[in-house]
Structure 1
Amino acid sequence: MISFLRGKILEKQAPIVLIETNGIGYEVYMPMTCFYKLPEINEEVAVFIEFIVRKDMLLLFGFNDKNERTIFRELVKISGIGPKLALTILSAISAQQFINMINNKQFELLVKVPGIGLKIASRIMIEIKDQFINKIDDSFINKCINSTSILFPLKKTDAEKEAIAGLISLGYKPQEANTMIHNLKKPEANCETLIREALCATI
């Protein structure tokens, strides 16, 4: 079981980061709220890992801290939510904002996430708090509840094409992803900035 990785970043192509550790490259999926905090290529990074085994593949999901991983773990326990949808949720809503959302019963934020309908959103609101509230650090919860922050500020070039591909991997339809990036009208921006701003515009 892989639960933690420390190594050098070889590649970044949202939402995937390739991390080299002891000569082995690990492909790790990360929520955009974590991905945009990564250091530059060839710099060292440390991520907490959730290792998920599927019938036809092995998947690694990475997070900047244990609280983000805990929320991801509890999300995938809910009927109707797989790892890719949990990744999409935490790409649109940071861990801190997620706890605020649950605490304040901000149901409307969830239904704006692609792939989340009313049924799944209501299931999350009902089930998630009791499941994970005791597994999150008290100091982190207090910080979240006392915070007044809004959804994370998300800081046909190659960057635009990569951003569209990144949005598609997060659950958006190709035409929808293309429109989201086109509407930003920021051809000079890099891929990570485009994805962050596109996600922000949907909330």
Structure 2
Amino acid sequence: MIGRLKGELIEKRPPQLVIDVNGVGYEVEASMNTFYRLPECGSQLVLFTHFVTREDAQLLYGFYEREERTLFRTLIKANGVGPKLAITILSGISTAEFVRCVNDGDTASLVKLPGVGKKTAERLIVEMKDKIQALGLESSSEFQLSAADGPDMAAFEPVADSRSEAESALIALGYKPVQATKSVEQAAKALGATSSSEELIRYALRAMVG
């Protein structure tokens, strides 16, 4: 089990990133809530990780906070929730907001996430409530990701393909191509032509699940 990585962030293309650890590049998939908090490429980084082995692949998932990994590991134990859907959930909603949805029985907010239908939302609320309480997640305010927690978006160099990168990230998270394109176009109009992919993704996700 690979539980932690410490090295140089050498590439980030949401929702994937690469960390160089002593000359070995580890490909990691992360939730967007983690992505928003990443430093610039070339910086040192520590991520808590979860390693998944399948017949056709070996996958590594990374989290900026240990608590987010704890919720991820709890989510994938729920019936019908695999790592991909868990990452999608943690990308479209903060840990604190997910806890609130479970405690309040708020299926309406959960079904806005791709891959989460009404039955899945209801099942998540039933299965996760006791687990969340056992982990003490319901009272931890530190999980809430606010705008101040993210990196200074002005520090990101705008790239020509930021829109296509944002669209690809949303599609990878489970959104339909038409929905991803429309949401990114709306985000670009609202934020401006020089917006980074991270800014576009964040705006689009908030618009779709807010």
The offset of 1:30, in angstroms, is 0.6
Hey, what does 2:71 align to over in structure 1? 71
Hey, what does 1:6 align to over in structure 2? 6
Structure 1 residues 26-64: Cα deviation after superposition (integer angstroms, max 9, x where no partner): 011110011110011000111100101111000111111
Higher mean C-alpha deviation, range 26-35 or range 178-187 = 178-187
Hey, what does 1:196 align to over in structure 2? 202
Percent identity of equivalent pairs: 41
Between the aligned partners of 1:90 and 1:61, the Cα distance in structure 2 is 12
Whether the aligned pair in 2 keeps the contact of 1:50 and 1:62 (CA below 8 Å) is yes
Q: 2:169 aligns with which of 166, 178, 190?
A: 166
Unpaired segments ≥5 residues, structure 2: 154-158
Structure 1 residues 142-199: Cα deviation after superposition (integer angstroms, max 9, x where no partner): 2439x9x7x8559794100100011010001111111110122132100011001100
Between the aligned partners of 1:58 and 1:173, the Cα distance in structure 2 is 25
Hey, what does 1:101 align to over in structure 2? 101
Alpha-carbon RMSD across the aligned residues, in angstroms, is: 2.1
Hey, what does 1:28 align to over in structure 2? 28
* Counterpart AA for 2:193: P
With normalisation by structure 2, the TM-score equals 0.87
Between the aligned partners of 1:152 and 1:114, the Cα distance in structure 2 is 22
Aligned pair count reads: 197
Between the aligned partners of 1:39 and 1:102, the Cα distance in structure 2 is 31
Between the aligned partners of 1:202 and 1:144, the Cα distance in structure 2 is 24
With normalisation by structure 1, the TM-score equals 0.90
Whether the aligned pair in 2 keeps the contact of 1:157 and 1:187 (CA below 8 Å) is no
Hey, what does 1:85 align to over in structure 2? 85
SS of the counterpart of 1:103?
Answer: helix
Whether the aligned pair in 2 keeps the contact of 1:28 and 1:62 (CA below 8 Å) is yes
Instruction: Mark the CA change 1:142 to 1:135 in structure 2 (over 3 Å): closer, same or farther.
Output: closer
Between the aligned partners of 2:141 and 2:99, the Cα distance in structure 1 is 7
* Counterpart AA for 1:83: P
